[in-house]
Amino acid sequence: MSEAKPLPVVDFLKIPEDGDPYLEGYRCKKCGSIYLGERNVCSKCFARDEMEVIKLSETGILHSYAIVFRSFPGIDVPYISAIVDLDEGGTIKGNLINIDPDPDKIEFNMPVKITYGDALGRKDKEGNSYLSYFFEPA
């Protein structure tokens, strides 16, 4: 099998042919609300056809989190499920890595940055690899 390019784990993760991966958002030109994934109508201000495509920031702060010790069978635990407010708007959720899963070590509002890497070795039915995003302390 040839060395196939990994697929994006979610639609809003973009992998350009030549260039670095990034996260894409849709921003309402009327009110500035930011969405993940394509949409035409703003659910905040109801404006139609006012969405513009933007690159989301690669940095942000930790808004909230939980430390998951019990998940579904086959999922490695513990891990930190994190909610991150991006510096230029938008909020995304993901795993916070490269820090102990210990509430004494994790600080609210701590700066984090987005990194990209293989999706923990997970492959789909066709054997495709996936690229995912993660957060790590900045």
Partner 1 sequence: MSDVYVMGVDMIKFGRFPDRSVPNIGAEAALMALDDAGLGIQDMQALYCGNLGQANAMVGQRILQEIGQTGMPVVNVANACATGATAFREAWMSIKAGMYDVVLAVGVEQMGKGLLGGAGGGEGIPKEGLLGSGTMPCVFAEAGMEHTKEYGTTFEQFAKISVKNHHHSTMNPKAMYQIETPLDEVMNAEMISYPNTKLMCSVNVDGSAAAVLVSEKKARELGMSRAVKVRASAMASDPYTDRDLVMPDVNACTRLAAKDAYEQAGIGPEDVNLVELHDCFATAEMLHYENLGLCKDGEAGRMIDEGHVELGGKVPVNVSGGLLSKGHPLGATGIANIYEVCTHLRGEAGARQVEGAKIGMTHVIGLGTACGIHILEKTN
| CB atoms closer than 10 angstroms to residue 35 | 17
For residue 67, CA distances in Å to 74, 89, 99 come to: 17, 25, 12
Closest approach of Cβ 3 to partner 1, in Å?
Answer: 19
- Which DSSP letter does residue 73 get? T
Residue with tokens 């099998």: 1
Site residues for partner 1 per CB under 8 A = 7, 9-10, 33, 35-36, 43-44, 63-72, 75-77, 79, 81-83, 85, 91-95, 103, 108-109, 119-120, 122-124, 130, 132-133
Output 18 or 131, the one with its CB closest to partner 1: 131
Closest approach of Cβ 31 to partner 1, in Å?
Answer: 10
